[in-house]
Chains A and B, each alone.
Chain A
Amino acid sequence: MNKTIVIAVAYILAVSCSNDTNTTTKLNDYLFTLVSPKESKVDFSNILIEDADLNIINYIYYYNGGGVASGDINNDGLPDLYFVSNTGKNKLYLNKGNLKFEDISKSSNCEGKASWNTGVTMIDINNDGYLDIYVCAVSGFLDFTGHNELFINNGDNTFTEKSEAYGLDFKGYSTQAYFFDYDKDNDLDVYLVNHAVHTTLNHCEASLRHKKAPYVGDVLLNNRNGKFVDVSDSANIYGGINGYGLSAAIADYNNDGWDDIYVCNDFHEDDYYYINNQDGTFTEKLKDNFSAISRFSMGSDAADINNDGYQDIITLDMLPKDERTIKETEGDESMFNVQLRLKKLGYKDQFSRNMLQMNTSGSYFTETAFLNTVANTDWSWSPLFADLNNDGYQDLFISNGIQKRPNDLDFKKYVASAFKGRSEKEGIQWLYNSISEMKSGEIPNEVFEGDAKRFKNRTGQWIEAEPNLSNGAIYVDLDRDGDLDLVTNNFGHTANIYENKTNGSHNHITLKFHYKGNNIEGIGTKAIVYSNRQKQLKQVFKSRGFLSSVESRLHFGLANATQIDSIVTIWPNNTYSTITNPTINQTVSITYQDSLNIYKYSTQENKPPLFTKENLIDFTHKEDSYNDFVEEKLIPYKVSNLGPALAVADISGNGFEDVFIGNSSGQPAKLYMNSGKGFTISHQEAFINDSNYEDNDAVFFDADNDGDLDLYIASGVNEHKIIALQENRLYLNENGVFKRTKNKIPSNTFISTSVAANDYDNDGDMDLFVGNLAHSEDFGPPVPSHLLKNDGSGNFSIDLNFKLNTKVNQAIWKDINNDNTDDLLIATEWDAPKVYINKNGQLKPLSLPDELHGLWQTVSTFDFDNDGDEDILLGNWGLNTKFSLNFDGPLHLYHFDFDGNGKPESLLAYNRKEQYYPLNSKDEMASQMNAINKLFIDHKSYAGKPLDQIIDTKSINASLQLKVDLLASGYLRNDDGQFNVFVNFPDAFQLAPITSFNSFNINKVDQLLVGGNSFRVNTYHGAYSAFKGLIASGETNFNSVINYGIAPFNEQIKQTQCIKMKDKNLLLILSNNDTLQTYSYQN
């Protein structure tokens, strides 16, 4: 009886639900509207019948879906559509105009014969003016037969399969083909992306990629008079067993006129970045040019999205957006051990999220997906950059969805749990049956609007946010109305055709190219459109996104511009032609002519760089093996690797500043004496004796008023967390020998991060501010920091009038009110920065704007708005962080002994639509609080629950609560001595935590050198290394350090410092766990 009721209720619910959806789909104000298959007659669906012999268990890419290609196969001016069916017949639809199509699959004879089809490209391979079709296949795996097929267009809407004649009948595990002319011999070669199928996770050395694996390894085929020949070996293309190749993005990334290749590899294999050596070979340079890449790289695309003339890259991954799904599936947070293992084996840092890699003048890429809100589109396949609203900027479409989520944690632990009492065969059948218990991964496709600065999510506005399963996708102007429509190949459902309703609201132009030789489509041609005081660059390649290919014409939106100043076409042979003032809102054909001039890419000017690399000090900071995360399992970042310490002063009195660098525990600090020409190490017994201390910060000052410079060192967490070795230290200078003092400074065993000397009480001796960050056993709570008063002979005592309980990262003395007395500026985290005005030895806090709690890393002053007074610069966490995914309100930290075991926990919770959710997964929480395992016996009962349904409200209310109001770095604007306004730095400064400001004078201009990055974070975050260093003279004038001859900052910058030498200046760049970099410059 019960059952009947349940069914009845379910029926009512279902009925009412479907009614709801019916009414909502009637709303038709989307930029893109779905054309119904009834109207279009495009009824293709990629139908698969999963059974015990063929399913996600025995073929890991069973849910990857098929591609879609567009091109005008009958030269009637209308682009036709070809859809790949994995196991069924492929389909070809003729475009009859007005978004009506005719299925000519059968008569055209191009349905395909392979057992498993994947990607498709329409390409005129024989240059007869008719588009041919190349379809990739998986063959030789399981019982899959067949090979990649080439359907040659007979010119009469029929095709003949001729792959063998061309040498394109590749038999292996192909994903997609990328046609391009890499050797510039005026024919089309092809890079075939193939994929591994093996499932062992006994990770081998990364160097395995050098060992060719047939079927699996990617291949580069060179076109020799119409016959394709494998040249992978001689061209230096990897082809290893680990190559889980799922896509590639071809483009001339470094603007040298030769086309390069970015290959996306799934799982632990790195992506590949092949730079074309212009001699028929490539050099793989991922490690030199990228900091972090997608872990499960799927589809990709390349385009210049910020109009700087260099093509950028997006790679897709599978980071979920939905709070429930995040907590129900395995994410990066559980990858700590694997990550370390892979690093040892030679793999790159990889994180499971989309990566938006911005190309910086072809020299390196900075990853900005979080800043652009495109990092987490869930299980994503095909990204496409295109101007979807014709406003002159590249937008982004992403196809989404997976039939079943095989990485569901409950499924792993509690559903598909055993073969229990079954033979292997029965076991497989049983496992197969378990697939039906996996959760569906239907999710909406997503679309983002671009403005060359940041993407904004327009899902639900431009397209309907309707869950689906879309794999291959293309943009194509199907109705030739000047805007790009979208087509997706759907898994188990009818294909989507999205009609773009931009129509005439913005201007546009489409370019069609006719090149020479055996590349008449002009694959590789670039066009630069100059209009509206900006330039748009695009390059012709067909295969894009995932498994799919677009037309060879280039589409440009022009917004409201009524004319184009000029169009420069750079042909594959790097000659160029220019068109001025073409007629817009139409398709313009551009035909190659011989004897054009060679195009000169306006790359680096030839003047010598301002900075020259030097090697004057040989120092390497080496972190010890202490690991905060094994001690406190829920903390977001380490507080044990805050070194090295740097102090600079003229100790010897020769007029040149000497350099002290404190190391991490286990390594002695070093003192380098400066002769003006070079440095010699000063042997100091005391530093060797104290090498087990961790040095976080240091200052030279005259402690005992004897006229020479003494040294105070702020200590951090040492390798074995021995409390006695966390004491700060004072060393007195006795004729150049530094001797450790006893009982002259108050005991301080907190993690000290900052020491700054100043005679704040104006009594003729130097006093100190010592800033503390945390207790080494307890991440969360604030700790006291102190002013230490000097009694005149080097005995220091705490100034009891000054009370500060916070988490200090850095502090400086600086006169900010022009009263000739230095004031105290403090960068704090989980708190607002502190500014104390010194009035006759009394430090009075200055009132600052509200809601300024941040993760302030560093503080300095500089006239950033160029109005003549110094502003207060504050380095924060930045906006390109996983924290920013869930930041609808302040980030919270709760500190309390939640499980009542005598040890308090520091719990982070993020704000999603005004609800606070725990940042940590159930397993992470349980690793610190065993009770969680009893309260939540599976992942689904924990997932999607706000914090107050996980931890009892009483404990939450009793806990110490800290918050972060903002993540952006910026400055407190000096308005006539008032600092009432906080101004965000430009986006270029928000790419990672800023940890260092340093001002110097170059060419008689005050310049600011800004450094940052953080590798202190746990694997939930990954690593923040996108801030490559900027030199700025103000908020509107800044440049990458590479423009000055300084290598990009790939490490975690601790501090930079300038020192005068006899005939030049020296810049020191100190990073955590890295070698000191030195540069010389003249000013």
Chain B
Amino acid sequence: MNFKFPHYLFLLTILIFISCEQPQQPIEIKSSDFHNAVDQLTKIMIRDIFSPPVASRIYVYPNIAAYETLNQDSKAYNSLSNQLNELKGLKSTTDLTNVNLNLASLIAYIDVAKELVFSKDLMLLYRDSLYTLYENKNRKEFITSKNYGIGISNQILKWMHSDHYNETRVMSNYNIYSQDSSRWEPTPPAYTNGIEPHWSKIRPFILDSASQFQPKPHPKFSLEANSIFHSELMEVYNTTNAIRNSSDTSPEVEIAQFWDCNPFVSINKGHYMFAAKKITPGAHWIGICKIACKTSNADFSKTVFAYTKTSLTIADSFISCWDEKYRSNLIRPETLINRYIDTEWAPILQTPPFPEYTSGHSVVSGAASEVLTEIFGNNFHFEDTTEIPYGLPQRNFTSFQAAAQEAAISRLYGGIHYRSAIEAGLNQGHKIGHFTNSKISFIKH
């Protein structure tokens, strides 16, 4: 009965609108409408709890659909057809003359997004409220645009379904029976299974293969006092202890918390269990993209372009990073410190549930910052308000690179990564970002 209640309301609204028979007006779709749709998707993703790699996939396909809908016949932007792996022969079935491209683009976005989340009903609710609004404004324009948008989104969905996501759902879990002392183990407090051990089998978008930018191997695992590995382990331990000892509100703690971006932090108080839910690293950079668009007053086309390019490089970053994570299967500092150094130590951030090397946030930040710099320019000052809804303050940055640097080092402050994973991760991300910039031609010259 609860579920049906809103539907009644909608029926009612529709009835009211129809009976009013308002005159048909042109439908205007602005950048802010697109931002709203992205925010709506983010909200549902938080509700449904998606891991960072899966979240990156949920962001990218709706954007591609929106971008392609907008740019089939564009003077300014190239189609991605034949540019992204296995995306070929996109066809528009409709005569574009009566199509409101912005509207069609937004519709395509929502149409793909609804297939990616668990709570499809929530996306449909959002969609239906918009549909009602637009249909009442101008039914003809709406229907024509919708048909066109859905036509493109169907083709994107078809392509999406061949990316091996479904196949990887049923592949084996990470096996924790191993005796190898360097091998990753589930971490406190939830001891969650390793997330997405087969993510490298997902078809990349731009990269030739998941291993194209395989980072150099991590320092050889060793617990010898003078080994590089051991000194990096001690660096995590000492750095976090020093931060803790300095004060509760040290700048390092603030940095660590700001960039935590852990979608599901489990908290247990006896039997009382809850979770602090936040956005993912990818979502944070999608948020920065939004801020950049707004700060620079980007028009609808540029907004869609920026989101698309950013989410593409983020998605490939996760594929590349996860490829390395489950190649090296490296144990987290928390496990080693508790086992060999200090049984009571806990990191400042909760260790996320997957192997250590390389740092996902570093790869993603490296790649996204390269792409955003290419779009919005060097030394782009911005106020990062992305985390405010999650209880964290605003931070200001002088460039995307500066933000990426901070995001990367935050993992050391948080006590969840060794330095090598951060440095190699950032480097890996920069390469992916560069490659995105050089390989895919978005803007028509």
Please, how many angstroms separate the alpha-carbon atoms of A254 and B49 in the complex? 52
Residues of chain B contacted by A903 (CB below 8 angstroms): 170
B84 to chain A, nearest CB (A): 24
B186 to chain A, nearest CB (A): 4
The residue on B at minimum CB distance from A438 is B272
Mark each residue of chain B from 16 to 48: 1 if its CB lies under 8 Å from any CB of chain A, else 0. 000000000000000000000000000000111
Please, how many angstroms separate the alpha-carbon atoms of A386 and B5 in the complex? 53
Please, how many angstroms separate the alpha-carbon atoms of A2 and B119 in the complex? 26
Q: Is A933 an interface residue (CB 8 A)?
A: yes
Residues of chain B contacted by A406 (CB below 8 angstroms): 270-273
Other-chain contact of A56, B169, B176, B270 (Cβ < 8 Å): B270
Q: Is A162 an interface residue (CB 8 A)?
A: no
Q: Is A199 an interface residue (CB 8 A)?
A: yes
Residues of chain B contacted by A901 (CB below 8 angstroms): 166-167, 169-170
Of B102-110, B274-282, B354-362, the segment with at least 4 beta carbons within 8 Å of chain A is B274-282
Residues of chain A contacted by B192 (CB below 8 angstroms): 337
B115 to chain A, nearest CB (A): 9
Other-chain contact of B271, A2, A407, A629 (Cβ < 8 Å): A407
Q: Is A54 an interface residue (CB 8 A)?
A: no
Q: Is A419 an interface residue (CB 8 A)?
A: yes
Other-chain contact of A412, B46, B176, B275, B278 (Cβ < 8 Å): B275
A51 to chain B, nearest CB (A): 16
Interface size of A by CB at 8 A reads 56
A994 to chain B, nearest CB (A): 27
B125 to chain A, nearest CB (A): 13
Of A15-23, A201-209, A694-702, A726-734, the segment with at least 4 beta carbons within 8 Å of chain B is A201-209
Q: Is A330 an interface residue (CB 8 A)?
A: yes
Q: Is B178 an interface residue (CB 8 A)?
A: yes
Contacting pair B174 A630 (CB below 8 A): yes
The residue on A at minimum CB distance from B268 is A201
Mark each residue of chain B from 113 to 156: 1 if its CB lies under 8 Å from any CB of chain A, else 0. 00000111100000000000000000000000000000000000
Other-chain contact of A202, B120, B172, B338 (Cβ < 8 Å): B338
Residues of chain B contacted by A929 (CB below 8 angstroms): 169-170
Of B88-96, B220-228, B368-376, B388-396, the segment with at least 4 beta carbons within 8 Å of chain A is B388-396
Residues of chain B contacted by A928 (CB below 8 angstroms): 170
Mark each residue of chain B from 182 to 213: 1 if its CB lies under 8 Å from any CB of chain A, else 0. 00011011011100000000000000000000
Please, how many angstroms separate the alpha-carbon atoms of A337 and B176 in the complex? 8
Contacting pair A61 B270 (CB below 8 A): yes
Other-chain contact of A60, B175, B272, B277 (Cβ < 8 Å): B272
Other-chain contact of A630, B8, B119, B175, B269 (Cβ < 8 Å): B175
Contacting pair B186 A416 (CB below 8 A): no
Q: Which of B5, B170, B178, B346: most chain A CB closer than 10 A?
A: B170
Mark each residue of chain A from 874 to 916: 1 if its CB lies under 8 Å from any CB of chain B, else 0. 0000000000000000000000000101110000000000000
Please, how many angstroms separate the alpha-carbon atoms of A267 and B169 in the complex? 32
Q: Which of A199, A296, A630, A633: most chain B CB closer than 10 A?
A: A630
Residues of chain A contacted by B47 (CB below 8 angstroms): 414
The residue on B at minimum CB distance from A719 is B177
Task: Known A341-B185, A630-B172; judge A420-B391 contact (CB<8 A).
Answer: yes
Q: How many A-B residue pairs have CB under 8 A?
A: 130
Residues of chain B contacted by A629 (CB below 8 angstroms): 173
Q: Is A413 an interface residue (CB 8 A)?
A: yes
Q: Is A685 an interface residue (CB 8 A)?
A: no
Q: Is A418 an interface residue (CB 8 A)?
A: yes
Interface size of B by CB at 8 A reads 50
Please, how many angstroms separate the alpha-carbon atoms of A205 and B268 in the complex? 19
The residue on B at minimum CB distance from A630 is B173
Mark each residue of chain A from 36 to 58: 1 if its CB lies under 8 Å from any CB of chain B, else 0. 00000000000000000000111
Residues of chain A contacted by B169 (CB below 8 angstroms): 901, 929-930
Q: Is A820 an interface residue (CB 8 A)?
A: no
Contacting pair A202 B390 (CB below 8 A): no
The residue on A at minimum CB distance from B278 is A418
Residues of chain A contacted by B179 (CB below 8 angstroms): 625
Residues of chain A contacted by B172 (CB below 8 angstroms): 630-631
Residues of chain B contacted by A415 (CB below 8 angstroms): 274
Mark each residue of chain A from 612 to 656: 1 if its CB lies under 8 Å from any CB of chain B, else 0. 000000000000011101110100000000000000000000000
Task: Known A202-B346, A934-B118; judge A419-B391 contact (CB<8 A).
Answer: yes
Q: Is B297 an interface residue (CB 8 A)?
A: no
The residue on A at minimum CB distance from B122 is A937
B134 to chain A, nearest CB (A): 27
Residues of chain B contacted by A338 (CB below 8 angstroms): 191
Please, how many angstroms separate the alpha-carbon atoms of A416 and B49 in the complex? 13
Contacting pair A419 B389 (CB below 8 A): no
Mark each residue of chain A from 199 to 229: 1 if its CB lies under 8 Å from any CB of chain B, else 0. 1111111001000000000000000000000
Other-chain contact of B188, A203, A330, A422 (Cβ < 8 Å): A203
Contacting pair B119 A937 (CB below 8 A): yes
Please, how many angstroms separate the alpha-carbon atoms of A415 and B47 in the complex? 10
Cross-chain pairs A/B with CB under 8 angstroms, 17 sampled: A199-B270, A202-B344, A202-B346, A208-B343, A341-B185, A406-B271, A411-B273, A417-B46, A418-B277, A421-B390, A625-B179, A629-B173, A899-B170, A901-B166, A902-B167, A903-B170, A933-B48
A residues lining the B interface (CB < 8 Å):
2, 56-58, 60-61, 199-205, 208, 267, 296, 330, 337-338, 340-341, 406-407, 411-422, 427, 431, 434, 625-627, 629-631, 633, 899, 901-903, 927-930, 933-934, 937
Q: A417-B277, A421-B389 are in contact. List 13 more A-B contacts (CB 8 A).
A: A56-B269, A61-B270, A337-B176, A340-B177, A406-B273, A413-B49, A414-B47, A420-B390, A421-B388, A626-B175, A626-B177, A630-B172, A930-B170
